[in-house]
Amino acid sequence: MWSVLLGLLGLVCISYQTPLAGRIDYQTEFNNFVQKFERNYENDAERTFRFNTFVQNVDKMLEDSKKMPTAKFGINKFADWTKEEKAKLNGLPKRTRPMSKLDKLSSKSSNYSLPQSFDWRSRNVVTPVKNQGQCGSCWTFQTVAIIESHTILSGQRAVILSEQELVDCDKLDQSDGCNGGWPNAGLVYAVEHGLPTEKAYPYKAVNQDCHARYGGNGRTYIKNWEFLGPDENAAAYQLMQLGPIGYNIYVPDSLFNYQTGVWWPSDADCKAAEDSHAITIVGFGTENGVPYWLIKNSWGANWGGLGGYFKMHRGNLTCASGYGIGDDSGDFGDGNEWFVAATL
C-alpha cells in the first residue's frame, strides 16, 4: 500500500500565469511530488494508478484556476488521492441540508457596524491548526476549536483539548467517530461531560473503544451553545462577541488544492459536491474587493499557503450545508441552523 505521511503538506509550486494544459511534463511533476512527499507505492501497478490519478487531479486543478480567478491552487499532498479517499475527510452525516434550500433564502444584510477586517488570531485567542489525518473527524475538530478559543475568552489559560474522546465516545445524533458526526453533538457532549486535554486522551485518527474518565479534574466544560441564522453580517458580529464560530460546507474538489486568495466556488460546483466538511471561522476581511471569511481548517498547518487556513467568499452562504438538530427526521428546524457558537 502507498504511504501518506500526514505531517508533510508543503506545496510543489506551479505558475498559473499562462495556460499550461498540454505543456506540463506530468512525469517530471509526478516524480517531484513523489520525492517531496516521500511516497512509497507497493508495486508498479500502484505507481501507475497513482500517476494517472495525479494527472487527473492536476488537470482539474488547472480548470479550477481558470474558473476561480480569486484564488490560486497548487500541488499538495492530495495530488494522488482519489475522489473516494478525499471524501473520507469530509465527516458530516449525509443528512445535511440540501443545497436547493439555499435558493429559497433571501440575501440578508443587517445593519451591524462591522470593521473592514477582524481576526481572532491577532488577539491570541486561536489555538494551533491540527491535522485530522485519514479520518472523517472534522466535526470533532470544529467542536474543539470553538471550545479552545471559548476557554481563552472566558479568562482561563489556553489548553489543547482532545478530539479523540469525541471520536470514541460521542454517539449523539448519528455521530460515529471517523465515520462522521455533528459538531453541535460535540458541543452537547462538552456541556454534559466536558473534554480532557489532548495529552490525557491523545489523537489517533481511528475509532477506538471509549475510555473516558468522567467527573475527574482537568476536564474543560462549556455552559451552553447556540445556532446562528443565515444573516452573515449578524454572524460576523456574533463572531466578534462570542469568539470563533462553526460553519459546515459542501466540498467541491477545488478546495483540496487551495493555496492562497479567496476560495469562491460557483453555486453549481457546490450543488454538485456530495460530501460535507466542518470548519471554524476565526475572522473576516476583504481581499481585492472580495469579502471573505477566514477559516481554520483541520488538514494540517502546512496545507495550502496560509498555514492551514483558507479564505472563503463571504456574502452568499458559500457551499453551506447547515447542521442537524438532534433527530433523524431530516428536518432542519426553523431554518436558522447555519452557524454555531459557544456562548459566554
Question: Is 124 a residue of the active site?
Answer: no
Closest CA to 127 of 114, 141, 108: 141
Task: Decide if 277 is catalytic.
Answer: yes
Strand partners, 293: 284, 312
Q: Among candidates 198, 208, 297, which has minimal Cα distance to 248?
A: 297
The residue from 131, 150, 277, 319 that is catalytic is: 277
211 catalytic? Reply is no
Catalytic choice (138, 169, 178, 270):
138
CB 278 within 8 A of CB 248: yes
Which residues are catalytic, by number?
138, 277, 297
